[in-house]
Structure 1
Amino acid sequence: MSSNTFVLGAVLGAMHGNHPGAWRMPSADTGAYTDTTSMVRAAQAAERGGLDYIFLPDRVFIWGDLESGPPIVTMEPTLTLAAIAPSTRRIGLVTTISTSFAAPYTIARQVRALDVMSHGRAGWQAIPSYEPEAFANYGLPVPAREEKYERFNESVQITQALWGSWGREAGTPDKTTGRFADTSHIRPANLQGRHVASRGPLQIPPSAQGQPVVFMPFASGLGVQAAARYANGIIAHAPTMEQSKSYREMMRSMTVEAGRDADEVKFLSFFALTVGATLEEAVRRRMVLEEAAGIEGRLAQLSAVLGVRLDPADRDKRLTTTQTLQLRPHPGVAQAAYAIELAQQGRTPLEILGHGVLDMAPSMVGTAEQIADTLQEWVQAGAADGFTVTIDDLHDGMDAFVDQVVPVLRRRGLRPDDYTGTTLRDHLGLPEQLGVDPRLAADR
């Protein structure tokens, strides 16, 4: 990528879209949770827009209230991406696997297989789990934080060592000589940690990019330390541009302290969006989704944000003078001040919801130009190296983003006109890596 462009990906966690009302829209397929068709279509649309990757988060338990909506994540991310891979050609495929439950050999094998199947487009978001429900599903107690990250560090290093256990020097099958591979370059890893171990070698050769790209979420303390050592992509939730800038600067500084180049780590902020030809159209789109999500519950949430009780019967009426005087922003909601500003402008409760104030910030409801302005502002302020966008309704939202926002970014020179490489490492501007980073070898 050029110095003027930024990284761009999309999360495909919920099968209908990021908004809780998306699954109840007339266009929604209620069977989408067990059918990868909608995911394949969304991935193809993202690839049509030249996005660098799609990202599938995961939880190893039922995440979400099944009484009111489908699970928040797919059935299983790595298998879902394996189903998507043959229907795409360039876009990166980032799965999530927890080091708390899977052995390094299993992780290395599954993600390397996805990488080879997709011709070098796989990424692994490495996470340690923390939820009691997850550990209960594996019959395990929740470990102490230090123990959890000790296993995490061992797992990542052993996984990468296994990826490097089959060297490129092993060559390719040669029918003339009768040698399938030069086994002198396929060697055991023989690593033993306190929590996990593996002999190796892995039974799958390197992909076109060497090995998968490692992603991690932004987390405080031991999580940030681990990300500085291993990650090339940090997928982060930062409520404001100022906080995102602070997080990114911290990440770059700690990466240098770990012995790596700060530019090797891409800080990628989540960014929720709803796009329309006009601001009014975008707001109307969101209002329909808010209605579908269950307006009573959504207004109850808005009541907490504004500090006043809102009656669902008055959703299309401006707040009274008394209510306006009583407005108090919820201290724990990033968009509370914006919600109060809209109320003071005379917006109705439904219109306030239509501006996305219940989104986990940052988010934007607006035109392609307005969304592009915000993304550009964040990058130029040093708050992000790119974004993982979340789409409100996948039925048509990915197409709207690709057809409306991406062309604006391209005209501004912020995104390339097409893919300039074939692998995920190409898309992120990263060199090939095969095995453990030699700068960290002393820590094994």
Structure 2
Amino acid sequence: MSRVLIVGAGPAGVRAAETLVQAGLRPVVVDEGLRAGGQIYRRTFVRSERTSRTLYGAEADKAEAVHAVFDRLVADDHVRFHSQTSVIALQDGVAYLLGPEGAITFAYDRLILATGAMDRVMPLPGWQGAGVYTLGAAQIALKSQGVALGRRMVLAGSGPLLTLVAVQLIKAGGRVEAVLDTAPLRTQLRGGLGMALARPWVTLRGAMMRAGLGRRYHAGVRLDRIETDATGPVALHWRNARGEARSSPCDAVALGWHLRAETHLADLAGVSFEWNAVYAQWLPKSDEMGRAAEAVYLAGDGARLLGADAAESAGRVAATACLRDMGRPASDLAPDLRRLRRLARFAASLQRAFPWPAEMARALPDDTVLCRCEGISAGALRATVDLSGPEANRAKSLSRVGMGRCQGRYCQLAAAEVIAGQAAMPVSEVGRLRSQPPARPAPVSAFLGR
């Protein structure tokens, strides 16, 4: 029997597993979380009186359906589930796993990567201090532990997640001082038309959530700096759309500019990449069915940033492509493919409405910490470009940008903009940082017994 490994137990991974089980296979599913659900449908780890409706809002029914499907697959022993487990390397059809069992290996015939996405962040003077988080971190703390990361929070960035996390915090009783969006209102309106044509109800729901923020919300802002003291943030200083200086007092800040695809494992699996101008990032190449390399399939936001609804369809499509390549019968994909095309139109319009502020990265002051892991400033990277040339990996080797614990997950997009600005060239010509194993930090002790 073919050995199929699915990495990720979010909506895409769950639907991929379900499709394979229906065809008579027993896949192995690996996820870093304790329970299935992924980020968007993350489950709480503590006793709580909060209902699914409170946790997931309008997505509660979808979340419960995904949870129920996977829990049933595990209970019936139709999948082998490794929770709290990371894939730290891939080589020659072998996955190297690190989890509660220590370091283990798993040889696979087919690989479905449903690795999802993570926050896309922009450096800001003062962001390296304690008490500055990503929007995703604020959402995880709220969903999994029922806590807000501060008593007076300021949220800044752009995209739907900015509004969503603010609304979730307020509903849970948190205090949100300000929601600062770098996307100008006119840009949002232009992109919003395409969003409304593709998904009118979702667009309307987002607009209603935004309206509920009232005077907390500000569009078209320019972020200046985060003021801190020994305990963390004191205030976020910014300028409104008219250029007037403003300051929002706080004890915690959450930052995020939509999402970036989590692609480290796709890179290690031999998938090719291409620059995507719409998303302003390098994305893995795959066909419409998710085929990306020999016996490697991509599904969900790790391939295309289309959201949770699309991830479920993409998981079924990738698993079906896998079954067809094995010569097994598979169901009709026409409905899922139509849905993915429609959601792709919505996602493209969303990116136009809430663009990545490339000019903000290029204008960062020299003393701004760019790489928090290694403590490298924007000025240090600019100085490196004169020696390394405008190529991301050479600049990395001399400056150490992207060499830290996160392997460039948080700094490489802004770093590429800094390099491009210094060299006066398009960011697409700077290239991308090559991924290296281990894909996650791995203690040496995990390998000593072997």
TM-score, L = length of structure 2: 0.26
- Which of these two proteins has the greater Rg computed from alpha carbons? 1
The structure carrying a bigger strand percent of its residues is 2
If asked which structure has higher relative contact order (CA below 8 Å, sep 6+), I would say 1
